[in-house]
Structure 1
């Protein structure tokens, strides 16, 4: 919890901090604005100077080439190699910047060179252009072999020799160094851009050849750069600014006389805001000093103000914890602190007096004296405590008198209820025992009926299977009788055929006899032999037919006998099938009746269980009622003894004196109950306040 001193200190520090922050922000803002204005007024003249210096360097090189090529030493030289030496000697002081010196004829043929590879980069159009003019011919910047170059050419105009073209090829690094001599700031740089937006010269070779007008279309971060380049290319000179990757840049630019280009000087504003950083540091230091002074003065001022407040607060905290004995550190002054401490002292004195009076009254009540009344002077709202306390004592006196009378009546009723509850409890116990025996008997009967039902189902299933088997047997027997009849019919047909065979044998025998007679008459022995054989065969056929007929007659007799037996057996099976169906119906009736009896027994058993549950609940309630009645009787006795401890106020009526004296004395007579002396002694103990049930309402019992 923050103290008053810490709050005052925090407030002062907050004010000092806010002032310091505002001062820092305002100072830095105006310093940055001033720095930007200064840069804008400085960067354009520097860009003009850089562009003019760039033009001056290029111009000096072109003039030197022209003067050398047109000089007498160059024209009168005997060989092209000598002319090459003359050309190189004219740039002896700057040979570190030039990579190639070449002498061409008017047709573009290399006559002398110190680097054939570089000289091959010069196009014939450039040589032709140099031959057509008296001044120098300057090519555009181009890339060859991964590096950037430009070429200066000049031709001779003399009748002494054929036309020659002197050429020097220069690497652009020299021009980059020339431009960056005028860089402004630590991270500033100068570069050259063409009229089409392509970067021609840049200290970062990766940027050369890129089109600044297209960069912003592909990358949103460079959109402002593209807009600035568009403004630069639309004017000859001036300044502009843009933001790139959270950095502000101010740009000065000026058109160059060569390469159709513009010299652009880029300056990072952050390089020139170090002054604002140092100013911010100074402001922070001043703010810290100011806050330290603020803390010092706040501590001195807060200590003087908070000392009496802290003392009063500590005393109020101890008062809240119940401490009324410690003195109050009174602040003797006429301001609010003095009034606060004096009022606290008066409050504690009054509270101490009130608590003493209330303590005395409560002590009298604890001793059983309800005749005591609270006296003394109570001020303001505390007067309600006195009047309310006395009203409570009067009400308690009347209430306890009424409670004592009611306790006697409750005791008498509790004894009667206890006796009745005991009788009900015994009857319920006996009834529950009888219900349990009945339930056990019904359970056994239910098990037997369930078993009988299961057995009858099994018997019904067996009889059902036997009936099916007998039906199948009866069907088979009918099929057998039909088969026997068919055999008997077939035997009759075979007998007819045998008779036909016998007649055929007889006729054959006669024919054989006639044949023998005719053979004897004709005298043919062979024909006679055949006739004898035919007659013999006919005799054998007749004999076999007789034997077959005898066998068929025996079989027919046996079949007739079997058919008769089969018919008798079929009649017997029909009787068995009829009796089996009758038995099946009887067993099914017995099974259905057993199931119905089992279901009825289950319902009866369920009803008995419900009755048993109700009887058990009634028994429990009866036992609980008996216990509650005994407890009520003992509690009423305890209540009477407790009320007898109190001394009640006299109401002045003589007729009620003896009655009140009888009502508020200890009761020595034993109550009329069946409780034993041990139970009475146990019931006389005062129960715990949290476990005492409320019997004050009339609808409880």
Structure 2
């Protein structure tokens, strides 16, 4: 039952309920049919026998009364004979119906038949006397207390009464039997109806419980997953729809948890600076997009960091070159400053020497002037040379000043 589909479970439950209902209805209908048959039997049997027994008593009384009227009232004799004959005929019919009903003791029927036959003989005997004109003899015979007619009539009336009482007793017994049977059928029908209702309730409660427990478990797990907790535990296992749903939710929770944990691992590695990381879990369905995004992010970050590392190396190399160039420039500047200082000292020295030369020239000029006019041309050249020397001295001073400024 556990491994059946829900539709089959409900179908089996429905079939069971239908079978119970059909059985109850069938039993109820058969019981009603039986009660109807008993009612029919009651009508055709004890009721009819009782009615015919009453008719026999009535016919016997009618025969007795009409015989008496025929004896004592002369003009009634002919009419009463017809009535008496009809009464005997009706008694025979009623006795046949009672006999065919087959519920009355045959001895009572036979006894009454004998009494009726004897009464018929007495009727014929009395009417033979009357029809022969012997009314007085007929009256005397009828008036005898212990006459044969009176005895036969009394016995016939008693036998008819016994038959009626027997039919009445059996009718009452049969009626009680019918009433008892109807009550039993009613009680059994009520009991079976209650039992069917109880069975239906038990089946409904059983089916409801079998469906309610796993549904509540699945609902609780679904709520936990909706809140982000994929650590669920569904114990229900079956081959029905709920079992398939439970198994699917367990697999979904397991797969989602694996993907989330793998994503967290990748992000942790990326956060620690390891960009050479790949997914280990199997990303399925919509999670394929997550996998592609994670791979793209790690690849982009790895490529970016590689470029950064290359740029850093290039910047480092350039920095080394700049540092080396700066050192060389500083050294060259130092050497240039030293050379300029030496050049400045040399120029100053030259300037001093030129000044000394100029002084010597002046002294030579003075000496030349003393020599005379021959030396005027040489003197003129000497002046030019002195002027040139002065310009050189001025220029050397300017150069020295510039070098000092530098």
Write 1 or 2 for the structure with the bigger share of helix: 2
Q: Smaller-chain TM-score range?
A: 0.3 to 0.5
- Using the size of structure 1 for normalisation, the TM-score is 0.22
Higher Rg: 2
**TM-score, normalised relative to structure 2:** 0.35
